[in-house]
Amino acid sequence: MQPEELGHAINKGLEFWSLQIVADAAIMSSFVVLAMVAGRGYLENVRRRLTLRVAAEVWEAGTDLLVDVLMGFVSLVGLFIVNPDIMADIKIGLPWVPLAMVLMAVALVIRAFHSGRVFGSTAWWIVLGLVAVACAANWFGFTFVMEAAGEGYLKGHEGSVWPTLQRMRSDFNPDLAMATFQWANPALVLVFIWAVVAGVVRSCRARQQPKTRSDE
């Protein structure tokens, strides 16, 4: 192998490794989000134990912001990796992982702009449901598709369901990867546009509020 070919192979290997790490980190982050949203009562109990008011406010704001940041990270990773070239290079459980990232993006918009932070509200329950379904899809896609049984195992279990699950991997099944891209990527783009529009509307309303008060 020539030095140029070796360098190219190393660069491609590092690229694949980095992309796979980012995708796996997004999957793991979804479970942290579920734990923090579902464990809202636990976080409230911790806040009550803080004696300083400033510490309690920092804890509440920090945990709230951390959930949003993690949900945004998962959504942006989905927008980044759900494309034919990257899905052909790394292993992604189709259609489970892209579906989970779309659901997480929808949950983030509802949480950020449609009262999804209000504990016990209808919007809060919708966010919890979307995050739970996203985690279930990520769990199935990661455990049974991305990390499906390898060739050595399949030689002794030819009649098992593992070969079918393995064919759901994006790097094994370009047809399924393209079909998933055709609905998942537009869905993520539409949710992104929804978030931008909702953010602009919220900003305009917030700017008009002081004027309304002064007029009264």
Kindly report, residue by residue over 70-117, the tens digit of the pLDDT: 999 999 999 999 999 999 989 999 999 999 999 999 999 999 999 899
* Residue numbers of the chain with a pLDDT score lower than 50: 212-216
My answer on whether omega of the bond before 84 falls inside 30° of 0, hence cis, is no
Global pTM reads 0.89
> CA angle at residue 165 from 163 to 169, to 5 degrees?
105
Give every CB contact of residue 189 below 8 A, 6+ residues apart in sequence: 79
Report CA-CA distances (Å) from 128 to 93, 103, 164, 210.
23, 11, 31, 33
Cα-to-chain-centroid distance, residue 80: 11
| pLDDT (0 to 100) of residue 216 | 39
* Residue-wise burial string across 156-188, b where 16 or more C-beta atoms lie within 10 A, e elsewhere: eeeeeebeebbebbbeebeebbeebbeebbebb
Q: What are the two backbone dihedrals, phi and then psi, of residue 48, each rounded to the nearest 5 degrees?
A: -65, -25
Nearest to 134 by CA among 151, 152, 111: 111
| pLDDT (0 to 100) of residue 99 | 97
| pLDDT (0 to 100) of residue 149 | 76
Sketch the domain layout of the chain as residue ranges.
Answer: 3-215
| pLDDT (0 to 100) of residue 211 | 55
